[in-house]
Every structure is written in structure tokens, then in C-alpha cells.
């Protein structure tokens, strides 16, 4: 949600998304950055987070003169995370970490503000695992395909290229034990194309995706929610493991498959994602 559109803030927070990310970066013209910060700061101060989505703010990149102004304008108890764009170095994350620590101390904020790190360059992709592990604030990695592919002339429709990058990022996120999120899909009227992108991301273990239009929220929620079949499978796996454990064995069988620790971890994650434990 561009922060130059305060008239749409309420609509965004009522959209049914799990989180809303207010943009101070690419969605805001250079000569309107200060206006966008003022809009957002005023709205966030009056926001009641109860029953609403998590709030994030995409600030300007760490090398920008706007970064400190952005963080000072939005940091507060209402803010769940900063979305940091175009990250390439640990030093960028350290800079933001230190700024947040200082502001949290000055403002008496108890809960640390998290960082969602966006990977949008070849260097960022190469260093993704180190970036994800560079601060306890980092809660996830997110892809930015447009910035990554367009300057290099890589086709945005090349599924092999996209899945190779997704897998690299997913493994980097897994090394840091954080989640991984799919890039935004700009053709918001192309639901079949959006669904295909979501399915590819989900098949590689991504936890969710960015939506740039309210019409994309429903499809994204449906794709990333565990299916009835997955929930039944997870329950069956855990029940089989419990029964086997009672019999004094370490490896269970379920539907003709040998079940050990990795399958149990997956089953528990499916039930956690569905709200079942």
C-alpha cells in the first residue's frame, strides 16, 4: 500500500490479508517521501492492532538518506516488522538493527521490531543465508523477481529460472530457520498466472506471497492453506508414530511409507499452519 494514499489505509487493513505492508520506497515519488512519512506516522499512531493484520513498512534501502527518517517516523508498538529492500550486505542489516535498538530504547518499546529481508540482486541471492542469520530480528526472506531478473534480461516467464532462484532462497532461509515469501505478481488481473506462481512457490516450501491488489488475497490464502488431504495425512503420520512408539519402535509405517523424524516434522508443521496442534 503506497503511503501517499492515506485514503486507502483503512481499506487495506480490512482486506483479509494476514499482513499489510505500507510502502515508503518504490511506490512513493522522491519529492513526496516526506509527505508519505507524515501520512503514515499519523495513521499508525491511531491504529488499534486488536483483531487486525500485522503491520509492516517497506522503508527505503539502507544506503538511502531517507532510511533513518523512515524508521524514526514509523517505529512504534503497532509495527510488527520493517521490510528492508534490496539487501546485499550484513552491514545494511546491522545499520537498521542498531537504529531500531536505539529507537526502541528511547521510546520504551518492549517487543523488538522484526526485519523482513528482500532479496533483489545477484549478490543478495548469493549471500542470502548469511543475511538471514545476521540478526535475531530477521524473520524471513522475500523475493523481488522484477529487480533481480529485468536488468539481467532473464525472462519473467522462465519457470526454470524462477524455481531455481526460489529453491536457492528457500534453502538459505531454512539454514537460518526463518520463513520464505514469494515475490509480488504485477499482473493482478491474470489470476491463472498468479495461481501458477503461487503453486510453484508453495511446492518449494514458501510460507506465503506478497499481493499488490486485494483481488489476489483470496487466491493466495487458498493456495498456502493446508488442504484437507494434507491435514488428514499429517494426523495419520502422527498417530502412526505414536502407536509405534508405544510398541517400542522408532520408525513407523503409514500408507506404505516408512515414517521417521523428517516426516514427523513436516506433519507437525502442517497441523500448526492449519491451526491444529
Residues 44 and 149 in one domain: yes
Residue 213 forms part of a structural domain: yes
Q: Quick check: helix, strand or coil at residue 13? A: helix
How many residues are given for the chain?
277
> Domain holding 69: CATH number?
3.20.20.60
Whole-number percent of the chain with pLDDT over 90? 74
Residues 129 and 180 in one domain: yes
User: What tens digit of pLDDT does each residue of 49-83 get?
Assistant: 666 799 999 999 999 999 999 999 999 988 999 99
Q: Which of 38-52, 65-79, 191-205 has the lowest mean pLDDT?
A: 38-52
Cα(197)–Cα(211) distance, integer angstroms: 12
Pairing label, strands 257-259, 252-254? antiparallel
Residues 141 and 16 in one domain: yes
Residues 60 and 148 in one domain: yes
pLDDT at position 277, please? Answer: 61
- Span 1-5, mean pLDDT? 91
Residue 1 forms part of a structural domain: no
Whole-number percent of the chain with pLDDT over 70? 98
Residues 183 and 134 in one domain: yes
- Span 185-205, mean pLDDT? 94
The dihedral through the CA atoms of 266, 269, 274, 276 has a sign that is positive
pLDDT at position 50, please? Answer: 62
Residues 168 and 109 in one domain: yes
Contact (Cβ atoms closer than 8 angstroms) between residue 109 and residue 77? yes
Domain that holds residue 240: 228-273
- Span 192-217, mean pLDDT? 95
Among the candidates 224, 249, 264, a domain finishes at 224
Number of structural domains found in the chain: 2
Residue 245 forms part of a structural domain: yes
Residues 185 and 246 in one domain: no
Its pTM stands at 0.90
- Span 173-201, mean pLDDT? 95
Residues 69 and 28 in one domain: yes
Residues 84 and 47 in one domain: yes
What are the CA-CA distances from residue 260 to residues 127, 233, 253 (Å)? Answer: 32, 14, 9
Residues 72 and 144 in one domain: yes
Q: Which residues does residue 141 pair with via DSSP β-bridges, in sequence order? A: 117, 180
Amino acid at each position: 500500500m503506497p503511503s501517499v494514499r492515506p485514503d486507502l489505509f483503512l481499506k487495506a487493513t480490512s482486506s483479509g490479508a494476514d499482513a499489510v505492508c505500507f510502502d515508503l520506497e518504490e511506490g512513493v515519488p522522491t519529492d513526496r517521501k516526506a509527505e508519505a512519512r507524515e501520512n503514515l506516522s499519523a495513521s499508525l499512531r491511531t491504529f488499534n492492532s486488536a483483531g487486525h493484520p500485522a503491520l509492516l513498512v517497506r522503508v527505503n534501502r539502507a544506503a538511502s538518506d531517507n532510511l533513518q527518517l523512515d524508521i524514526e517516523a514509523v517505529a512504534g508498538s503497532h509495527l510488527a516488522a520493517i521490510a528492508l529492500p534490496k539487501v546485499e550486505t550484513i552491514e545494511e542489516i546491522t545499520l537498521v538493527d542498531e537504529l531500531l535498538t536505539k529507537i526502541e530504547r528511547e521510546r520504551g518499546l518492549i517487543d523488538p521490531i522484526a526485519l523482513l529481508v528482500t532479496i533483489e540482486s545477484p549478490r543478495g541471492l548469493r549471500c542470502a543465508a548469511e543475511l538471514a542469520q545476521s540478526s535475531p530480528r530477521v524473520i524471513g526472506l522475500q523475493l523481488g523477481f522484477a529487480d533481480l531478473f529485468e536488468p539481467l534480461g532473464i525472462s519473467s516467464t522462465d519457470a526454470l529460472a524462477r524455481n531455481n532462484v526460489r529453491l536457492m532462497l528457500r534453502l538459505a532461509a531454512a539454514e537460518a530457520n526463518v520463513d520464505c515469501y514469494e515475490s509480488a505478481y504485477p499482473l493482478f488481473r491474470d489470476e491463472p498466472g498468479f495461481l501458477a506462481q503461487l503453486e510453484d512457490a508453495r511446492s518449494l516450501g514458501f510460507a506465503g506471497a506478497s499481493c499488490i491488489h486485494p483481488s489476489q488475497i483470496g487466491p493466495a490464502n487458498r493456495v498456502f492453506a493446508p488442504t484437507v488431504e494434507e491435514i488428514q495425512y499429517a494426523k495419520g503420520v502422527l498417530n502412526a508414530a505414536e502407536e509405534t512408539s508405544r510398541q517400542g519402535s522408532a520408525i513407523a509405517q503409514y500408507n506404505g511409507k516408512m515414517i521417521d523424524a523428517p516426516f514427523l516434522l513436516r506433519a507437525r508443521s502442517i497441523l500448526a499452519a492449519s491451526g491444529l496442534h
